[in-house]
Amino acid sequence: MADGWDLHAVVSGCTTAASTSATINVNGQTNNVEDPLPDLASLTFTNDDDTLFYNPGFGDSSDFECEGLEEIYRSFNFLKPRPNNPCTSSIPPTQQEAQSLPSPPPPQTMVQVQQLITPQLIKNSRAGSSLPLPATVRSRRRKNQQTKLVRQMSHEELLGDSWAWRKYGQKPIKGSPYPRNYYRCSTSKGCGARKQVEKSPADPDIYVVSYSGEHTHPRPTHRNSLAGTTRAKFSSRPTAAGASSEPPSAAGTVANPPCSSSSPVSASSLSPSTPLIEGESSAAPPENSLTETIEILDDEEDDEMGETECDEVVLIPNTVMSEDILKGFEELRRANSGSTRFQTRDNSLSPWNFSAAAAGDGGGC
DNA sequence: CGGATTTGACCGGCGC
DNA sequence: GCGCCGGTCAAATCCG
């Protein structure tokens, strides 16, 4: 993986909501492109596989299919089922507007959507643009790559997870001052759900959490069911992680570790809903995610692009929300006191719920 | 004693 | 082919 491309990409999008710069990561080098070209300059190139983050605020994305995207989000419980869901309906009006707008909307109302670009898209882009893509965009993918969802979470959000996670590794990541922690679901032995947690280099208060795999069991009924087994290492046993500011038992595993007392919230402790195989409808993701990015990394041999359009061209709306934006939503909510659905359990606003609501999905998001 | 965390080692993918 | 890097394993350790 590479050089924290995801972090930079996401963080960049998050912290510069109204910025016109694009972050391009290639070979570990990050280039901030001022006043990017309306077409491809908004791309965030990554050297990880052939996936790219694409800021559709500019350019035309109408060619893309997004049903697969919605499926993924739904599988991660970021979207609730909707009877009819035309491709475009997965993108809330605000996002749609953002996509069509030639210039970024005001920071407080802007919802920046990032999309992943597949090799096919790259090809298309190359054909339609004079902006050369980096030669480092590879066409091959790592063996074990699978659907992966990357989110930026605030402190509080990490407390909103009911899944039980067990830490199984920690690694310093090149280019990041903070180590990355690896967790797997501990609720069930066979559960393949995993997540990675690391602090955002740009903002230590923000945690970048990546989810992969799927839960093969129902969500624990009681989020604290295993809390008794969680340790509060941060205070008792300082570790490299702790020294490097990584929250102690990030694992937090289980639910609500009392970590909030002395530690900065376990980085991972609580995770939003991770993919669940057996219809988990109650899984509510942390609703105040700062950023959400779905990274479609097919584990199948999908080099044969063209079989299924959704596989090769996946539109992934990545809502980039800064705290300011959230505040903006809050103000918006106050203005429209009836829009309680935008309010999350901790009074923050969920871009996703907002999106769903804005899309007119009556479906209980 | 059971379960979670720590941490060094190991493995595989990828770039050069 | 080699080295780097990220991801995972597993023994040791800790804690309730």
Domain-embedded: residue A168: yes
Residues 179-218 of A with CB under 7 A from strand C: 180, 182, 184, 194, 196
Residues 238-297 of A with CB under 7 A from strand B: 239-242, 248-254
Whole-number distance in Å between A54 CA and C14 C1' = 45
Residue A111 contacts by C-beta under 8 Å, 6 or more apart in sequence?
A92, A94, A95, A98, A319, A320, A321, A325, A351, A355
pLDDT at A276: 45
pLDDT at A219: 75
Q: How confident is the model at residue A107 (pLDDT cuts 50, 70, 90)?
A: very low
Report how far residue A275's alpha carbon sits from residue A295's, in angstroms, rounded to the nearest whole number: 13
pLDDT at A222: 55
pLDDT at A201: 81
pTM for the predicted model, two decimal places: 0.48
Give the count of beta carbons closer than 10 Å to the beta carbon of residue A240: 10
- CA closest to B13 C1', residue: A142
Rounded to an integer, the average pLDDT of A340-352 is: 35
Question: Protein footprint on strand C: which nucleotides are under 7 Å from a CB?
Answer: 4-10, 14-16
Whole-number distance in Å between A169 CA and C11 C1' = 13
Question: Protein footprint on strand B: which nucleotides are under 7 Å from a CB?
Answer: 2-9, 12-16
pLDDT at A163: 81
Percent of chain A exceeding pLDDT 90 equals 3
Q: How confident is the model at residue A14 (pLDDT cuts 50, 70, 90)?
A: very low
Does the nearest atom of strand B lie within 7 Å of A21's Cβ? no
Rg (chain A; Cα; Å):
19
Q: How confident is the model at residue A188 (pLDDT cuts 50, 70, 90)?
A: confident
Amino acid in the structure at residue A143: K
Q: How confident is the model at residue A51 (pLDDT cuts 50, 70, 90)?
A: very low
Domain-embedded: residue A53: no
Domain-embedded: residue A187: yes
Does the nearest atom of strand C lie within 7 Å of A227's Cβ? no
Q: How confident is the model at residue A309 (pLDDT cuts 50, 70, 90)?
A: very low
Domain coverage including residue A196: 148-212
- Using the CA of A143, give the nucleotide whose C1' is nearest: B13
pLDDT at A31: 39
Rounded to an integer, the average pLDDT of A186-200 is: 84
Domain-embedded: residue A162: yes
Report how far residue A265's alpha carbon sits from residue A217's, in angstroms, rounded to the nearest whole number: 26
Give me the number of domains chain A comprises. 1
Domain-embedded: residue A129: no
Per-residue pLDDT of A237-264, as tens digits, reads 333 333 333 444 433 443 333 333 333 3
- Higher pLDDT: A127 or A275? It is A275
Domain-embedded: residue A173: yes
pLDDT at A168: 92
pLDDT at A291: 55
Does the nearest atom of strand B lie within 7 Å of A170's Cβ? yes
Query: Per-residue pLDDT for A41 more than 60?
Result: no
pLDDT at A246: 41
Amino acid in the structure at residue A75: S
Measured N-to-C along each axis, helices A323-335 and A351-358 cross at an angle, to the nearest 10 degrees, of 50
Of the segments A54-63, A199-208, A340-349, which one has the largest average pLDDT value?
Answer: A199-208
A181 phi, psi to nearest 5 deg:
-105, 140
Rounded to an integer, the average pLDDT of A211-220 is: 80
Query: Per-residue pLDDT for A175 more than 60?
Result: yes
Question: Which stretch of A198-212, A214-228, A313-327 has the lowest confidence by average pLDDT?
Answer: A313-327
> Secondary structure of chain A in the HEC alphabet?
CCCCHHHHHHHHHHHCCCCCCEEEEECCEEEEECCCCCCCCCEECCCCCCCEEECCCCCCCCCCECHHHHHHHHHCCCCCCCCCCCHHHHCCHHHHHHHHCCCCCCCCCCCEEEEEECHHHHHHHHHHCCCCCCCCCCCCCCCCCCCEEEEEECHHHHCCCCCCEEEEEEEECCCCCCEEEEEEECCCCCCCCEEEEEECCCCCCCEEEEEECCECCCCCCCCCCCHHHCCCHHHHCCCHHHHCCCCCCCCCCCCCCHHHCCCCCCCCCCCCCCCECCCCCCCCCCCCCCEEEEECCCCCCCCCCCCCHHHHCECCCEEECCHHHHHHHHHHHHHCCCCHHHECCCCCECHHHHHHHHCCCCCCC
Rounded to an integer, the average pLDDT of A341-360 is: 33
Q: How confident is the model at residue A160 (pLDDT cuts 50, 70, 90)?
A: low
Q: How confident is the model at residue A221 (pLDDT cuts 50, 70, 90)?
A: low
Does the nearest atom of strand C lie within 7 Å of A177's Cβ? no
Of the segments A17-21, A108-112, A149-153, which one has the largest average pLDDT value?
Answer: A149-153
Task: CATH number of the domain at A162, please.
Answer: 2.20.25.80
Residue A1 contacts by C-beta under 8 Å, 6 or more apart in sequence?
A48
Query: Per-residue pLDDT for A195 more than 80?
Result: yes
Geometric angle at alpha carbon A58, from A56 and A59, rounded to 5°: 90
Residue with tokens 């959400």: A292
Percent of chain A exceeding pLDDT 70 equals 19
Whole-number distance in Å between A166 CA and B10 C1' = 21
Does the nearest atom of strand C lie within 7 Å of A228's Cβ? yes
Does the nearest atom of strand C lie within 7 Å of A8's Cβ? no
Average pLDDT of chain A, as a whole number: 47
Amino acid in the structure at residue A147: T
Query: Per-residue pLDDT for A204 more than 60?
Result: yes
- CA closest to C15 C1', residue: A231
Residue with tokens 């999309």: A115
Domain-embedded: residue A170: yes
- Higher pLDDT: A361 or A324? It is A324
Domain-embedded: residue A156: yes
Query: Per-residue pLDDT for A182 more than 90?
Result: yes
Amino acid in the structure at residue A89: S
